[in-house]
């Protein structure tokens, strides 16, 4: 079985959408793949409860209890690598995981590390993407699923979705509109990779 490990920091709605789609589309039978575990760097992440309710293995690794980014990432990799007999999972999926990862961690999972970022990359890498889109007068906003490389919010683009910016929109309005699209394109991008048997 190909194991997918999902990393979260917050509400986990993307993680929940991936888990739901995997069940609905029967990824286990279709692709021999399953979501094996959900790991959070925050004990308070709401997504942990959702994951536990789905019967998934969960783990918390508080980044504040590590002396360096490298030490945290090493411990994170040790947890992730439990989820594959071969020593590494098929896919590591960042779903609202709000940590910058070290080049060593990224290299370890090269080609198998995915991220969702709430902008139309390469526009607006980093934080506060929707407010920045509003401030720039953008008529459209969106979301990108991409492979992770050492450069923050870069890497080969796997899928994108576009939403309009409407008159009077706040950043929260755009975020809600974009999130609906996130829940569609992230599971779809993962399924496409699994189908292509790349992983």
Binding site for ligand GAR (CB under 6 A): 8, 10-14, 47, 95-96, 116-118, 179, 182
Active-site annotation holder among 63, 117, 128, 146:
117
How far is CA 172 from its chain centroid?
20
Q: What residue is closest to ligand GAR based on CB?
A: 96
Nearer to ligand GAR, 84 or 171 (CB): 171
Nearer to ligand GAR, 11 or 111 (CB): 11
Angle in degrees, CA 93, 170, 167, rounded to 5: 120
Sign of CA dihedral 21, 177, 50, 102: positive
CB of 117 to ligand GAR, least distance (A): 5
CB of 109 to ligand GAR, least distance (A): 17
CB of 152 to ligand GAR, least distance (A): 8
User: Active site includes 63?
Assistant: no
DSSP string across 167-193: TT--HHHHHHHHHHHHHHHHHHHHHHH
């Amino acid at each position: 079985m190909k194991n997918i490990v999902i990393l979260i920091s917050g509400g986990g709605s993307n993680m929940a959408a991936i888990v739901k789609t995997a069940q609905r589309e029967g990824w286990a039978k279709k692709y021999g793949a399953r979501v094996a575990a959900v790991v959070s760097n925050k004990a308070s992440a709401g997504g942990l409860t959702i994951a536990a309710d789905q019967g998934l293995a969960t783990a918390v690794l508080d980044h504040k209890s590590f002396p360096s980014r490298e030490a945290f990432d090493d411990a994170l990799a040790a947890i992730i690598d439990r989820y594959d007999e071969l020593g590494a999972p098929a896919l590591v999926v960042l779903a609202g995981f709000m940590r910058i990862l070290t080049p060593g961690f990224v290299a370890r999972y090269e080609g198998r590390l995915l991220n969702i970022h709430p902008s139309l990359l390469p526009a607006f890498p980093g934080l506060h993407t929707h407010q920045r889109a509003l401030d720039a007068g953008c008529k459209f906003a969106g979301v990108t699923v991409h492979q992770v490389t050492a450069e923050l919010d870069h890497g080969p683009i796997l899928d994108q979705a576009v939403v309009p910016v409407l008159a009077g929109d706040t950043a929260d309005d755009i975020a809600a509109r974009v999130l609906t699209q996130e829940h569609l394109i992230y599971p779809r991008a993962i399924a496409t990779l699994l189908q292509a048997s790349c992983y």
